[in-house]
Amino acid sequence: MSGYGQFCPMAKAMELLDERWTLLVVRELLLGSAHFNDLRRGVPKMSPALLSKRLKSLTRAGVVERTEIDGRATYSLTPCGQDLAGVVNALTVWGMRWIGDVGDADLDPHLLFWDIRRTIEIDDWPRSRTTLAFVLDGVSAKASRWWLVVSNGQADVCDFDPGYEVTATVDTSLRVLTQIWRGDVDWSHAILEGSVTVFGPTEIRRAVPKWLGQGRGTRIATPA
């Protein structure tokens, strides 16, 4: 039997939502991902076939709407799906409060920089093109160099040198940068203790923590 066999509304909801990856796909849609490849970047360890399957089941359930714009599939949440924002936020707060352990298998530079790229406050950055380079310890050599480029009101992240002049370089470990992004450690503490070093002109070094900030989950979980 695929369902729980209970009339309880929570049980009926969980028949759809407790399938592996489903709520993470909803999270990505809530964060603005609208195309298949963007969704994949938000759930990089999910297979394309399973992502396609989950999108179809969410569409059948009326949670997701699929449309085509210029021949390209676009996904968005229906009012039913948007109503899950409170559920996703509540789980984020609960996870921040009660699930503190992050194992090595949970650390993923691709997911981290994808979330940084879509979360930073562009208005806090200089109007001219600004490039931050990141040198990460604790990862394989091919995943240890990253570049974040902000230009013309848009942010992009590269795992190869884009060839632009580097404004500043952030030297840290993947674990520490993830902890900062999660809100487990703040920028000032990490810099003071030496687990993060920012190289560049003095005024730029001071500005980098504000430019990058911390993840959305930190904002949600911080008491008002």
- What does the domain layout of the chain look like in residue ranges? 9-98, 104-219
Q: What is the pLDDT of residue 178?
A: 95
Q: For residues 115 and 81, give the distance between their C-alpha atoms in angstroms, rounded to a whole number.
A: 21
CATH number 1.10.10.10 is the correct assignment for the domain at 9-98: yes
Tens place of pLDDT for every residue, the chain, 224 residues?
Answer: 478 889 999 999 999 999 999 999 999 999 999 999 999 999 999 999 999 999 999 999 999 999 998 889 999 999 999 999 999 999 998 988 888 788 999 999 999 999 999 999 999 999 999 999 999 998 999 999 999 999 999 999 999 999 999 999 999 999 999 999 998 899 999 999 999 999 999 999 999 999 999 987 776 555 54
Q: For residues 150 and 132, give the distance between their C-alpha atoms in angstroms, rounded to a whole number.
A: 9
Rg over CA atoms, the chain: 19
CA 21 to chain CA mean position, Å: 15
| Homologous superfamily of the 104-219 domain (CATH) | SCP2 sterol-binding domain (3.30.1050.10)
